[in-house]
Amino acid sequence: MPNNKLRRAPTIGIEIPHGYNEIPLGDLDALMQTAGPMITESVPGHIRNDVPNVLGALHFMLATLAANNTLYSGIGLHRTAESEIERIAVSWLTVSSFDYGEERNPRLVLSELIHTKAATKSRGKLAVVETPTVPVLYFEWTAKHIAPAIASYPAADDAPEVFQIEATVPSRDGTAIAVVELSTADPGAGPQYRGMVLDMAASVTFPQPPPDSESSSLAL
């Protein structure tokens, strides 16, 4: 994505699915001070010494998200079924918004983003999905990420796989984009999030319309 075209965009509107708990990106120091004692109390005694390191990594990650135009960040818990087995899948959801330059056809915006992915040799499943308003660029991939070192947690023999989805929504005039990103360390459950992410992308508005007291939409 061309860095010289990314400037903070105006407020957008989006429908956040049920099952997600927002992690505020405002006063992160206060958040860590509040969360620290609760997390320490809730974990087994033999890993409590690692809580400060985990909180430090979480603070760094959230601060990085906030610095990169993330407007919403949340953790979701959803029941997932594979064959006859039902379990809980955990996912991380973020929504970002950017100004993207001069007015033009939104399809030209997506074309440029596709060329950028090709130039950076991004590997994954890519598709342009038509919605009632604008086309959406859908990109899906699985990557391995090095797990943070936690003394009391056994190290894995191999880096864990993370299933990721990115849906990019241009505004009708091509001057702004919104990006919905989902990650889960449960690759088997990942494909079940495809429809949800595309529904979110289709719900994006630039800018957010006047609030409706009966609406579940979220202004970001």
pLDDT at residue 41, as a whole number: 75
Q: Residue 194: is its pLDDT beyond 90?
A: yes
Give the residue with greater pLDDT, 156 vs 209: 156
pLDDT at 15 over 50: yes
Written as six digits, the tokens of 144 are: 């391995």
Are 184 and 193 spatial neighbours (Cβ–Cβ below 8 Å)? yes
- Of residues 135 and 215, more confidently modeled: 135
**pLDDT for res 38:** 77
CATH of 3-23+70-219, one of 2.30.30, 3.40.1000, 3.30.1360, 2.40.160: 3.40.1000
Q: Residue 161 burial by CB count (10 A; 0-12/13-18/19+): exposed, middle or buried? A: middle
Mean pLDDT of the chain: 82
Look up the pTM and report it.
0.80
Say if residue 166's pLDDT is above 90.
yes
pLDDT of residue 216: 47
Q: Highest-confidence range of 9-13, 68-72, 178-182, by mean pLDDT?
A: 178-182
- Maximal C-alpha separation, the chain: 58
- Least confident residue range of 20-29, 42-51, 140-149, 186-195: 42-51
Look up residue 206 and give its DSSP letter: S
Residue ranges per structural domain of the chain: 3-23+70-219
